[in-house]
Amino acid sequence: MFISEALAIGSAICIALSSMFVNELNGRVPLMRLARWQLTAAFLFTAVVTTIVGGWASLGMWQVEALVLSSLAGIVIASTTYYAAIFIAGPRVTALLFSLASPFALLFGYLVFGETISARQGLGVALILAGILIAIGLRRRRPPAMIPLADDKPIEAPVPPSPPTSMLGITLGVVTALGQALGSLAARPAMASGIDPFAAMAVRSGFAVICFWAILALPSLRRDMAAFRAKDLGLAVTASFFGTALGMVLLMAALTNGNVGLVSTLSSMTPIVILPMVWIRSGQMPRAHAWGGAALAIIGTALISLK
C-alpha cells in the first residue's frame, strides 16, 4: 500500500479512537466543560506545531477573518453538537451521520461557487443517504410471544430488540455535518491561498477557545456542579490529541503527495473503522445492517470525492 493511503487510513483510525474516548466521558463530564478542555488542548497542540514550523507568517488579515467565520460554524457550533451527538446517539451513529458532510459540501459548492454536480456524485449522495437509513433507520419488530413447551422445559428468552436511535441524537449529528460543511466552505478561499494548515487549525481552534471560555460569564453555564477528576481531563486531552493533533497531522501528510480524492475517501472510513472498536468495548458485535450501511456511506463518499 502507498504511504499516503496508509496515512489516510491512520487518520480515520485516530478520529474513531477520539470518538470512543469522548464517549467514555458520557455522564462524567458536562458538555460545555468537555468542549473547553478539548478545544483548549487542540489549540495548544496546533499552536506549538505552527510555531515550530513558522506557519504564523503565512497568515494575512483576510485569511484570519475567513478562518474565524469557518471556526464559528465548523467548531463552535459543530463541535458542541458533535460531542452532544456522541453522548446521546453514541460514537457509531455519530460517525455515520458525519458522512453527510460530503453531500452538504457538494451542495454548498454548487450554490456558492457554481460547481457542477455529476451523475456519479449524485449517486454517491443517494448511497450515503441509503447507508444512513439502513444503519440507523430500520426498526426491528418485537420478538414473538413465547409459547411454553409441553414438557415445561424453560425456553431461553430472545435477545431484546435494540432501542431506537434518539431523534435528538440524529438531529445533532446532522447539524454537526452541516456545520462542518459550512466551516469547510468558509475556509476554502483561505486554504487555497496557500497558508500553513497548522496555522489555520490554530486560528480556528483558538477562536473557539475564546468563545467557550467567554460564555462562562453566563450564570446558568457557570454553575458547573460536576466534580473535577484528573482522569477525565486526561481522557479529554487524549481524545483531542488523537482527533485534532495526530489525526489531522496524518491527514495533512497524506494530502501532501497523495491523490486528494482517494485520500479523502480513505480518511472518511471512520464509520467502518469504529465498528470493531464498539464491538471490543461493548462485547457485542454490531448487526449486519450497521456494517452494510457504513459500507454504503463510504462508497457514496468515494463517488463524490474521486475524480
Please, are residues 21 and 245 in contact by the beta-carbon 8 Å criterion? Answer: no
d(CA 34, CA 27): 11
Inside any domain, residue 109: yes
Q: What percent of the chain has pLDDT over 90?
A: 28
pLDDT tens digits for 188-207? 888 888 888 888 889 999 99
Segments forming the whole domain that contains residue 29: 3-139+164-305
**What distance in Å separates the CA atoms of residue 4 and residue 11, rounded to the nearest whole number?**
11
274 pLDDT more than 60: yes
Look at residue 209 in the predicted model and tell me its pLDDT: 93
Does residue 1 register a pLDDT over 60? no
In a domain, 148, yes or no: no
Q: CA-CA distance, 189 to 5, in Å (whole number)?
A: 26
**119, part of any domain:** yes
Q: Which amino acid is at 61?
A: M
Cα gap 20→223, rounded to integer Å: 27
| Tally of domains in the chain | 1
Does a structural domain hold residue 49?
Answer: yes
Residue 260 is predicted with a pLDDT of 64
Instruction: Tell whether 159 is covered by a domain.
Output: no
Give CA separation, 292 vs 2, 127, 128, 139, 205, in Å.
26, 11, 11, 15, 34
Distance CA 254, CA 107 (A): 25
pLDDT of 13: 92
Residue 144 falls inside a structural domain: no
145 domain-assigned: no
Instruction: Kindly report the pTM of this predicted structure.
Output: 0.81
Q: What is the pLDDT of residue 146?
A: 47
Placement of cell 478562518 in the chain: 67
The pLDDT value given to residue 220: 64
- Evaluate whether residue 156 is within a structural domain: no
With 70 as the cut, is the pLDDT of residue 151 above it?
Answer: no
* CA 29 – CA 229 distance, rounded (Å): 9
